[in-house]
Structure 1
Amino acid sequence: MRRKFLAGAAVAAAVAALAACAPADGSEDGTGDTVDLTLWIYGACDSEECLEADLVAGFEQDNPGVTIEIVSQPPDNYFAALQSASVTGSGPDLAFLWPGAYLDPFKKYLLDAHEFVDSELIQESSGTAYFSEGNDNSAHVYAIPTNNQYYIGFYNKRIFEEHGLTPPTTWDELNQVCQTLKEAGVLPIISGATSGSAQFQPLTEWSFLAATFMPSQWSDLYDGTMPYNNPELQHQLEEWASLYESGYMNEDAFNAPDVDDRFAAGDAAMWFSGGSWQIPSFVDEMGEDLGVFQTPYLDESRPLTVVTAGTGYGVTTYSEHPEEAGAFLEFILSDAGQQIIADSGQPPTRPGFDTGVPAMDALAEAAAAPETVLYPMFDNFTQGPVTDAIYSDVALVLVGQMAPEEALASVDAAFASLPEDEQNIDIPLSDTK
């Protein structure tokens, strides 16, 4: 089923053939004219660390006569700006997108990637399902992902080895590890605000708290069939809050500043509110001391991974050059494009491309194991008010400022406030690969 090099070789051969026939001046028709595309991205593109810039450079080299202008859009207003521009048909040829609920408002403005990309490449890409209708990448694929992203826990290998500890996999093991570290005078877990936010990020940990259910049961939470205020999630939040109550976290866990920097400096043994995109910077600071693991919020050990495609790019219906824009999508999934992504330190969505970062490659290897249950990032599919309630109220449970039942009831109330068409969503999730 896997064709690691065959599909890429076919793409390369096609590109070579086209290049051989191309006009000497590099234009499409020999007139000297080029096709100019625009690509909107979320936030700034640092020329020294910008995956999009590297992908565009590789694409332009393989596609003489086609240029792509990268247009940085302010993050705070990106999706509103894209929607306004799409309504008037004045947006980009290629649009930055996130999967899940973020994608829904833009589906009518996006062409099916099957028009441009070989179906075998789409099937090989583990991330395309998240950008597809009904999570089925044989159906309409609205965007092609650049990389996979993981919610994970981080731990300091040096601290663990000094105290004879191994990464925990259950609540009981986590409490035992925390008790050992606390008795040794080491802060077990650090928590607080990151990236300029006012509080810690509970959405990362929520995916692991909700993993008390299998993925197929998450669909029942998303559409209201199962209330959030249920005994299983109450239990999970009680266990979570007990970590803070037991003194296994810093007292200012809700809003302590610079916690990722403090973790990297060795101020604590574990940090749970991060993701795989932070691995490269942690490796720079911690080297071989960095360890990654699945946050152990389970009563019984079970191999699981929280993974969702990160950034995706789609061709807009109003693009004046859809074929050329579509060629960029195919380049992303080509061997050349996947290698550019891997060289950036992020895991591409097709298998067989190592990043050279052991911690990152270990995540991809674990996700590919047949026994590993794959969960999406929970908050990618929740409606806005539901996400807000988890962010604001469930966060208060950790530091003892709200009871689990009260916070979960608030989430249910947020769901109940939604219009009926926003409640009746169908997100089919499977318990098996």
Structure 2
Amino acid sequence: MRIHGLRTASLCAAATLFAIAGCSGGSAKKNELKLYNDKNAWTPFFNDLGALAKQQTGLSIKPVGYSDERAYDAFITASFRTKIKPDLFTWQTGSKLKDIVDLRQVSDTSAIWQQAIKDGDLSQDVEKYFTIGGKQYCVPTNVAYWGMFYNKKIFAKYGLKPPATWDDLIKAADTLKQHGQKAFFTQATPNLFTFTWFQQLLAGSDPALYDRLSTGQAKYTDPGVVAAMTRWKSMLDAGYFSDPADTSDPADVFKNGKAAMVNYGTFFATSLTQRGMRPGSDYGFFVIPSVDPSLPKTPLIFETGPLCSLNKAADPAANKKFLSWWVTPAAQEKWSASRGDVSANPRVKVSNPEFAPVSKDAGTGKYQLVQRYFEATPAPILAAALDGFSGFLADPGSYMKVLQTIQKAADGYWSQHKTGS
């Protein structure tokens, strides 16, 4: 992660926005809510929801999207100390949500969750990711399951089918390699998603070890973690991956056929929709098989992102009204269909035919849900890991040094924090 030099840039970006955004404080009732988010590409979809919200609730939303995560984080955290405050904002679960809850900055949404669970609009399986100290905070902006997007035309060209086992997946990669086709997408920079294959290989080999790692009960230098890294290295050495130095958008790489498969969350469908790729005809999706075939359930990486309101919001009642509406079928059907993704509301029918099976099966206990590495890992350790994985992709032989460096960051963090689940 490009840590050095970014702090100043981020704060400057935040200060610039302060100057143009204007003060949102006050006690007047609001008809339009500014929704700050780190998903700038989703602006058209937020606008669609805003139009529907206006019709059904009388409240519209104005999305303010960021593309730079650090600048976004700087703005939100600065808003805790200034009069420039978002009405609503997206955030992350895990330690980042706990941090702002501990600062007493985010409003309690327990009543919204209780009613939504009673109505069948939210599930208790998701509730735990929003629960801190026995109370709920924020509501889901989205949910996503991580699996493999595959180019149907490339698969058809070489007679391939979605694999049932890990060995089948590697055989498919070998077949593609024989024809000069890169099997998998990877990218060292920008490095926000360099953790993707690490989480898949470790969770798919030993999900219990993966969980212990996130709570400081295991080390990055433990044999099972090293084994996941050496497997990743062997796949890189085999030539299965696209060029890590290629900074093209993964959706463009996928559409152009430079990589036959992309390991990503279901939200990736939004980028494919924007590029005219159609589910079922242009691309498919499958759950990545366990690396260890003896696991009783296939681990399925899961993530959910919060949509939050500050305690000191300009119009808390309007925020609560919007958040209550956001989780209803009317809102979620529109939200899910517009992006071609799954929904946090179990009552919403998934419009994307490629996601319908995993969405259904994930709720029946067929898979072992595993929290995404990005949310499961405390921020200081995550920063070191993203840096390390980026370096590893450039130099796969450095994997042991990378793990030792990440563990040093983990030792520093866990020495100041209690380990445990």
**Shorter-chain TM-score range:** 0.7 to 0.9
RMSD: 3.0
Structure 1 residues 214 and 341: CA distance shift in structure 2, 3 A: farther
Q: Judge conservation of contact 1:155–1:291 (CA < 8 Å) in 2.
A: yes
State the one-letter code of the partner of 1:57. Answer: A
Are residue 175 (structure 1) and residue 175 (structure 2) matched? Answer: no
Q: Judge conservation of contact 1:178–1:188 (CA < 8 Å) in 2.
A: yes
Q: Judge conservation of contact 1:146–1:341 (CA < 8 Å) in 2.
A: no
Aligned match of 1:158: 153
Q: Distance in 2 between matches of 1:84 and 1:114?
A: 26
Where in structure 1 are there 5+ consecutive unaligned residues?
A: 1-32, 429-433
Q: Distance in 1 between matches of 2:226 and 2:132?
A: 33
The superposition leaves residues 135-174 of structure 1 with CA deviations (integer Å, 9 ceiling, x where unpaired) of: xxxx311101132122222222233233333333544333
Q: Distance in 2 between matches of 1:112 and 1:98?
A: 16
> Which structure: larger Rg?
1
Number of aligned residues: 382
Aligned match of 1:8: none
State the one-letter code of the partner of 2:163. Answer: P
Give secondary structure in 2 for the equivalent of 1:307: strand
Structure 1 residues 106 and 40: CA distance shift in structure 2, 3 A: farther
The superposition leaves residues 403-432 of structure 1 with CA deviations (integer Å, 9 ceiling, x where unpaired) of: 4332211111111222744x3255x4xxxx
Aligned match of 1:334: 328
Structure 1 residues 200 and 71: CA distance shift in structure 2, 3 A: closer
Specify which of 364, 371, 376 is matched with residue 371 of structure 2.
376
Aligned match of 1:416: 411
Are residue 290 (structure 1) and residue 280 (structure 2) matched? Answer: no
The superposition leaves residues 74-107 of structure 1 with CA deviations (integer Å, 9 ceiling, x where unpaired) of: 6442222222222346413323222122212321
1:72 Cα deviation from its structure 2 partner: 4.3
Give secondary structure in 2 for the equivalent of 1:202: coil
Alignment of 1:198-213 (within 5 A): 198=190, 201-212=193-204
Q: Judge conservation of contact 1:40–1:70 (CA < 8 Å) in 2.
A: yes
TM-score relative to the length of structure 2: 0.80
Give secondary structure in 2 for the equivalent of 1:298: coil
The percentage of counterpart residues that share the same residue type is 23
Structure 1 residues 198 and 349: CA distance shift in structure 2, 3 A: closer
Alignment of 1:69-108 (within 5 A): 69-72=62-65, 75=68, 76-88=70-82, 90-107=84-101, 108=104
Give secondary structure in 2 for the equivalent of 1:50: helix
1:395 Cα deviation from its structure 2 partner: 3.7
Q: Judge conservation of contact 1:192–1:200 (CA < 8 Å) in 2.
A: no
Q: Distance in 2 between matches of 1:377 and 1:184?
A: 33
Where in structure 2 are there 5+ consecutive unaligned residues?
A: 1-27
1:125 Cα deviation from its structure 2 partner: 6.5
1:305 Cα deviation from its structure 2 partner: 1.6
TM-score relative to the length of structure 1: 0.78
Q: Distance in 2 between matches of 1:425 and 1:318?
A: 32
State the one-letter code of the partner of 1:101. Answer: S
Are residue 113 (structure 1) and residue 109 (structure 2) matched? Answer: yes
Q: Distance in 2 between matches of 1:331 and 1:133?
A: 23
1:200 Cα deviation from its structure 2 partner: 8.1
Give secondary structure in 2 for the equivalent of 1:177: helix
1:55 Cα deviation from its structure 2 partner: 3.0
Q: Judge conservation of contact 1:237–1:397 (CA < 8 Å) in 2.
A: no
Q: Distance in 2 between matches of 1:168 and 1:406?
A: 33
1:238 Cα deviation from its structure 2 partner: 1.2
Specify which of 248, 252, 255 is matched with residue 264 of structure 1.
255
